[in-house]
Chain A
Amino acid sequence: MNAREFFLKFNLGEECKKYGTPLWQCPQFLFVIMGLLIILSVVFSFVLGERYIRDPQVTLIFILALTGVLLSIAFTITRSFEQLAEANRMKTEFISIVSHQLRSPLTNLKWGLDYLMTEGKMQQTAEEAGYFQILKENVGRMHEMVNDLLTVSRAEQGRLPFEEKEFPLEEVIKAVLLEFHSSAVASNVEIKIDGEKVPKLWSDPSLVRHVLSNLVDNAIRYAWRGMDGERGHKKERSRIVIRYFQAGATIRCQVEDNGVGIPQQDQRFIFRKFFRSGNAVRHQTEGSGLGLYIVKSLLERAGGQIGFESEENKGSTFWFTLPIKPS
């Protein structure tokens, strides 16, 4: 949190607007009111105590009355927190239910298209086959988005599956390379591995694979496609380097690319849900803005960290660390 963000926290109107609750139900506002009342009550108690020192009953009644007011404010604060927590739980549950409900018709569509596109089942013109392919790709995109929403909902409920075991990072890297080989070739992107001998990791291999796949997928998606359309000069060939090494009690793995990079003003939002940087949207229309949020949630679940350095038009390096030994 930088200084500006710290001071913005004191802008009660803005802070309360985020929750969409009336001011008298907003926790931050109520905390300030309660703090002021506590200070006032201490000062008044002191003044009254001094003036009516021979008649302690008046002081006692006053303090009891103030305590009653403070208790009712504390009760309202607790209630407003409960309501916010309930609203958050309902939102997460809503996403989960909707995502599950969406999956069934999507599977039906997917399998129906699979059947129609099976060779020899239907006579299709090239134009019809092209449309079927478009339908299939869009069903695939929708399926990915539903999966992402489900993962987000699970991350927010603290229910991400996590099965730890010992495994070599190199194996995961090789599997990811294999997974992206054809799309890298199709996008004319060269992928290299540069790693030193590192100890085995103690984590969930499918989680690490998800993280690395997402970073490599982003690096391919946001690689330059031969020519720089905005300036019209030819870029060097797109390349990605997956580098890994031991860093203290962790293993650090990073994905370096010489792609479109992230504009400076967008960098602090990059791990936020549904955020896509301006140049990413221009360059690649597909994407939900959930990938890096999920990756960060997964790494937090595994006790790891993630970060990046990036410069627009030059490229990005996304790194993550994972502990070598079980925590």
Chain B
Amino acid sequence: MKKTLLFIEDESVIHKTLSDVLEGEKYDIVSALDGEIGLRMAKEKHPDLILLDLVMPKMNGFEVLEALKKEESTRDIPVIVLTNLEQMEDIQKAIDLGATTYLVKSNYNLNEVVAIIEKATKGGAV
């Protein structure tokens, strides 16, 4: 059965590269270019996994994460934070708010991120 992934990220290139690699037999991709739309999409589509950027217009990633974890229908969706912020306080804040994993984008290549997403959607620890 196909899994649904929601990317909440304001960089369209990231959407394109991840979608081009992942979209197909295994995944349906839903894209949101800001936090507000992302939160609405999460409530509507109930994805299997959310990839969340932190620095975004309208509503930043921390606010989205907090709202996702407050809402009963989205509370249990695993969230992978995918950002270029790497200060300890940002990582701690995201984990405290309920992020499953925190990845610093520039430290990973595309294939590594794809492998982490695949593992997470199979229910494996990442």
- A residues lining the B interface (CB < 8 Å): 100, 103-104, 106-108, 110-112, 114-115, 118, 143, 146-147, 159, 161
Contact = CB atoms under 8 A, between A and B. Distances in A.
Given A115-B17, A115-B21, A110 B106 contact: yes
Interface string B54-85: 00000000000000000000000000000011
29 contacts: A100-B84, A103-B84, A103-B105, A103-B106, A104-B11, A104-B84, A106-B106, A107-B11, A107-B14, A107-B84, A108-B11, A108-B13, A108-B14, A108-B17, A110-B110, A111-B14, A111-B17, A111-B109, A111-B110, A112-B13, A112-B17, A114-B109, A114-B110, A114-B111, A118-B21, A118-B110, A118-B111, A146-B106, A147-B106
Interface string B20-49: 110000000000000000000000000000
Contacts of B17: 108, 111-112, 114-115
Contacts of A114: 17, 109-111
A187 B111 CA distance: 28
Nearest to B18: A111
B88 interface: yes
B106 A100 contact: no
Given A104-B84, A161-B88, A115 B106 contact: no
- Chain B contact surface mostly: helix
A112 B109 CA distance: 10
B114 to A, nearest CB: 9
A161 to B, nearest CB: 5
Interface of B: 11, 13-14, 17-18, 20-21, 84-85, 87-88, 105-106, 109-111, 113
A143 B107 CA distance: 9
A115 B20 contact: yes
B94 to A, nearest CB: 16
B27 to A, nearest CB: 16
Given A103-B105, A115-B110, A146-B106, 14 more contacts: A103-B84, A104-B105, A107-B105, A107-B106, A108-B11, A108-B13, A110-B110, A111-B110, A114-B17, A114-B111, A115-B20, A115-B21, A147-B106, A161-B88
A159 to B, nearest CB: 8
Contacts of B20: 115
B13 A111 contact: yes
Contact of B106 (A112, A143, A159, A161): A143
A104 B21 CA distance: 19
A155 to B, nearest CB: 14
A114 B115 CA distance: 14
Contacts of B18: 111
Contacts of A107: 11, 14, 84, 105-106
Contacts of A111: 13-14, 17-18, 109-110, 113
B15 to A, nearest CB: 11
Contacts of A143: 106
Nearest to A140: B109
Contacts of B113: 111
Contacts of B111: 114, 118
